[in-house]
Structure 1
Amino acid sequence: MPPDPAHALPEASTAAELTTTVVIGSGLPGLAVASELSRHGIDSIVVEGVDCLDSGPLRTVMSDSVSLSERSELLRLLRAYASSHCLDVRSATRCEDLSIIGHSTLLPARVPSSKKWAIQTADGVLLADHVVLTKYPQNQLRRFLRSLGIAIGADFRAALAAIGLHLVGVGEVLTPTTREIARQAKLVSDTIAASGQAGRGRITSSV
């Protein structure tokens, strides 16, 4: 998926926001990750994910009323936490493209920072150390991972974490339970916090 570096954008000024983590998907998994990161003192920007048009139906294990009620209650609590703690949740902003900066044509020039990822939105480019995918079509996810030279296997999540890419609630045959999503969100946020790459907020710059 990373675009061919040979097709560079024309020289221009591109507004870019720098942040520690961009969470793609503003549903329950995304809010769970952002909330856990907030507890670690790590800022994040949450944007909406791509539509799962080609992902195919997932088998779900949340068919009973208790599971659905538990999920709805957790979502309500997460939304309240996001609001009270002023988390940067941009539900109306959609991720249009995602690429590793070294191979990105989203930016017209070398980025004067150590950020790894570029996330294109209609409002500009977000640059981040980490990206957490919580909403991504299954087929597209597999193609994207193949483009990075990573095959889905027993240890593929560790390979992704090494380059600052994390999955919560995606890449699985079954839709994870609410408790499993919460567990994954905590594990990913702990991994990001332990990486030592947490920035002190974000700034806006032109690159």
Structure 2
Amino acid sequence: MIAVAIIAQSPAVRAGLRVLLASDAALEVVGDGTAPDDLEHRPLAGADVAVVHSQPRDTLHATPDGLRGVLFVVDDWDGVAAPLSAPFAWGVLPGDAAADELIAAVQALYHGLTVIHPHIVPQLFAAPSSPMIRETEPLVEPLSQREQEVLQLIGQGLANKMIAERLHISDHTVKFHVSAIYAKLGVASRTEAVRAGARRGLIVL
């Protein structure tokens, strides 16, 4: 059974999401709230996945240790940005997503996967006002094979802990690789690293 919390300011939206999610016996809606901070209070603090009706954010003020993933449900795709540095698995679906799409997304997030509606992909990863330009100048110090693997997983939206589990290495080692990636690519964030890696053909989005 996957415990799900619903966060939405509108009572109608909360009720609608509850009805859609309740159609699957494998999901249990443990409660709902109006703001992300509600996730730190019982019973929402016991949720495995939170369904949040808002634009994606890298961090939520409250991220309980047991929270495996956050599904952002958005009505307006304009300005949507990927929360690549989020410490949890994440997904983005449109507000008119069907019940089966919501349920499949929650199940995927529970298992540590990233969920992105195909129509949102260009908006999430393309530069806001310019096309993706391929970098041809070689790096002063190329990424190692392991660093490329870490960068690819960052591009898939995985948090450090999940990358460590996927590659069977420690969290500390992942942080070391991330720092090295930043230095070699000349970037300061996970979003910039993914864009730089994609421009150089180091990863596939």
TM-score under structure 2 length normalisation: 0.33
Which of structures 1 and 2 has the bigger CA Rg? Answer: 2
Q: Relative contact order: is structure 1 or structure 2 higher (C-alpha 8 Å, sep ≥ 6)?
A: 1
TM-score under structure 1 length normalisation: 0.33
